[in-house]
């Protein structure tokens, strides 16, 4: 759970100023709440779009590697594996960033709900024991964060199978002889 720093969510009415009425204040609160929930939902949509993109690109890289393997041209496939591996690391970091942003946004929503007549998101989160009981609810980010690692493993296998180990060993050996003066 993320703590929203006190004094950051609620603005104080400046000294000497007055809010037109309580009714107006609650109307503005509800409007801002609706907008904020919509923005939080958009973050979830962007997260899904990012996951779809990375899943597609990684699948395309592996499909291309499969195609090249059938053509007996594995010379530089290890470079595709390196690119795919780096891409999966970026993907994983983006998942974590979206997870943290979503957590903070939904905590703000729950804090706003404390001043509203009902707290549907807070009640829903409590009903699933805040994601601590996997029989009730397993947060999608727990599952989602494993997918890049599966692809990373696949890219690593491709790298290990296609990297020109003998050429690299010869290169390192000759470099070491040059450096040592032999």
Q: What percent of the chain has pLDDT over 70?
A: 88
How confident is the model over 114-129, as pLDDT tens digits?
Answer: 888 888 888 998 999 9
Cβ proximity of 40 and 105 under 8 Å:
yes
Q: CB-side exposure of 181: number of CA atoms within 13 Å?
A: 0
* Contact criterion met (CB below 8 Å) for 158 and 80: yes
Q: Does residue 47 form part of some domain?
A: yes
- The CA distance from 121 to 125, in Å, is 6
Average pLDDT, the chain: 85
Q: In the prediction, which pLDDT does 4 show? A: 66
Residue 29, pLDDT > 90, answer no
Residue 17 included in any domain: no
Nearest-angstrom CA–CA distance, 60 and 71: 17
pLDDT for position 92 = 97
pLDDT digits (tens, 9 = 90+) for 49-86: 999 999 999 999 999 988 887 777 667 788 999 999 99
* 70 or 48, higher pLDDT: 48
Quick check: is 37 in a domain?
yes
- Flag whether 11 is in a domain: no
Which of 25-29, 32-36, 82-86, 101-105 is least confident? Answer: 25-29
> What pLDDT is attached to residue 171?
64
Q: What pTM, to 2 d.p., does this model score?
A: 0.78
- Is pLDDT above 70 for 177? no
Share of the chain above pLDDT 90, in %: 38
The answer to whether position 5 is within a domain reads no
- How many domains in the chain? 1
Residue 127 resides in a domain: yes
Check pLDDT > 70 for residue 173.
no
Residue 174 has pLDDT above 90, yes or no: no
In this prediction, residue 138 has a pLDDT band, given cuts at 50, 70 and 90, of: confident
Q: Are 147 and 55 in contact (CB under 8 A)?
A: yes
3 state SS for the chain = CCCCCCCCCCCCCCCCCCCCCHHHHHHHHHHHHHHHHHHHHHHHHHHHHHHHHHHHHHHHHHHHHHHHHHCCCCCCHHHHHHHHHHHHHHHHHHHHHHHHHHHHHHHHHHHHHCCCCCCHHHHHHHHCHHHCCCCCCCCHHHHHCHHHHHHHHHHHHHHHHHCCHHHHHHHHHHHHHHHHCC
> Which residue range is the domain that position 111 belongs to?
22-180
pLDDT higher than threshold 70 for residue 140: yes
- Structural domain contains residue 15: no
């Amino acid at each position: 759970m993320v703590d929203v720093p006190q004094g950051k969510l609620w603005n104080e009415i400046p000294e000497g100023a007055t809010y037109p009425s309580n009714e107006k204040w609650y109307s503005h609160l509800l409007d801002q709440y609706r907008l904020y929930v919509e923005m939080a939902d958009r973050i979830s949509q962007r997260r899904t779009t990012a996951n779809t993109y990375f899943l597609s690109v990684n699948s395309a890289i592996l499909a291309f590697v499969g195609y090249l393997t059938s053509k007996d041209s594995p010379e530089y496939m290890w470079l595709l594996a390196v690119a795919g591996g780096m891409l999966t690391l970026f993907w994983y970091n983006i998942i974590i960033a979206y997870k943290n942003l979503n957590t903070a946004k939904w905590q703000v929503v729950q804090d706003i709900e404390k001043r509203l007549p009902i707290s549907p998101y807070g009640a829903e989160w409590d009903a699933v024991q805040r994601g601590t009981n996997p029989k009730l609810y397993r947060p999608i980010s727990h599952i989602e964060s494993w997918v890049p690692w599966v692809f990373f493993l696949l890219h690593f296998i491709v790298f290990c199978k296609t990297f020109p180990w003998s050429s690299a060993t010869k290169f390192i050996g000759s470099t070491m002889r040059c450096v040592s003066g032999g």
